[in-house]
Amino acid sequence: MANFKYLLDPAKQEIIKKGTRVTIMEKTEILERIKEAELKVEQDIAAAQEEAKQIIANAKEEARKIIEEAEQEAEKIRAEVLEKAKALIEEEKNKIKDQWTQEISSIEKRGKDNAWNAAEFLYNEFIGMVEHA
């Protein structure tokens, strides 16, 4: 007889191993366990797919919130920059206006001075002509 680790006793449907007897499972029981295992794997896959869908949905929602917050922050910054630019423009406009007002006042004063000088010159010329006439 060959030296095997396991022997099969067909009459009793047992495997004999070094003096230990183990009952052989029926084919139907084996198929049933395989089907149960396959069903469990399918359920685990379906659960994993559902969990993945939920994770993706949560990530999309979080991304949407982040984008919305970023857009609001960008709008706030844009408004602040615009307000600062308007203030700088107004300040520069007032400086230019003040400079031109001073320049106009200076020209006006010189014009008045020149007008008085011209009037005085003409007066003196007229008086001189009258006195020599």
Q: Tell me: pLDDT of 42 over 80.
A: yes
Total domains, the chain = 1
Q: Tell me: pLDDT of 24 over 70.
A: no
Average pLDDT for 21-47: 82
Could you tell me if residue 113 is inside a domain? yes
pLDDT of residue 26: 65
Average pLDDT for 91-102: 95
Q: Tell me: pLDDT of 17 over 90.
A: no
Average pLDDT for 30-39: 89
Which pLDDT tens digit goes with each residue over 59-85? 999 999 999 999 999 999 999 999 999
Could you tell me if residue 126 is inside a domain? yes
Higher per-residue confidence, 82 vs 9: 82
pLDDT of residue 49: 97
Could you tell me if residue 7 is inside a domain? no
Could you tell me if residue 3 is inside a domain? no
Residue 91 belongs to domain spanning: 26-132
Higher per-residue confidence, 97 vs 122: 97
End-to-end CA distance of the chain: 171
CA distances from 2 to 7, 17, 120, 121 (A): 10, 14, 150, 151
Could you tell me if residue 105 is inside a domain? yes
For residue 16, report the phi and psi dihedrals to the nearest 5 degrees.
-110, 125
CA distance 49 to 57: 12
Is the pTM higher than 0.75? The answer reads no
